Amino acid sequence: MKPRLAFLCLGNSCRSIMAEALARHFFGGQVEAVSAGFSPLGWVAPETLTVLAELHIPTTGLQSKGLAAVDLVSCRAIINFSGYDLQKRLPPDFGGRVFHRRLADPFGFDIDHYRRTRDTIRELLEREISSWLGSETA
């Protein structure tokens, strides 16, 4: 069974959506990537789709959704970009790992902010999450 990763942020329109798409692309069939927001906007920012398209990252099926739409118990890891405390929001039977990686929200800023956010997430996936996944499957 592939490990399931959940990426969380505030609106699930920029950071966590980018991470979901990037993880699906870079890890392929190794993981199942999902995302959610604490206060979902209900739509994906057009700039998010633009910066993903620049790297030819598929965006089909991406949608903004809340925490209730994601089965957090089934996740091996949660990557929290929001800076919000997850303690009271995690199900009591969650047994995975939580990565707290506060990342500024590019929403409302210019396209270069979105690019920097995308590149920061890509680096996180390539260095830290890839390494962690390797130790999980070894």
86-111 pLDDT, tens digit per residue, is 988 899 999 999 999 999 999 999 99
Count: domains in the chain? 1
- Cα-based distances in Å from 93 to 2, 31, 53, 110: 19, 21, 37, 40
Q: Which residue is associated with the tokens 């057009």?
A: 46
Q: Of residues 56 and 134, which shows the higher confidence score?
A: 56
pLDDT band at 137 (very low <50, low <70, confident <90, very high): low
Residue 132 burial (C-beta neighbours within 10 Å; 0-12, 13-18, 19+): middle
Residue 40: is it exposed, middle or buried by C-beta count within 10 angstroms (0-12/13-18/19+)?
buried
Supply the range of the domain harboring residue 114: 4-137
What is the share, in percent, of the chain residues with pLDDT greater than 70?
Answer: 98
**C-alpha closest to that of 91 among 70, 66, 73:** 73
The mean pLDDT value for 65-74 works out to 95
pLDDT of residue 92: 92
What CATH number does residue 108 fall under?
3.40.50.2300
The predicted model scores a pTM of: 0.94
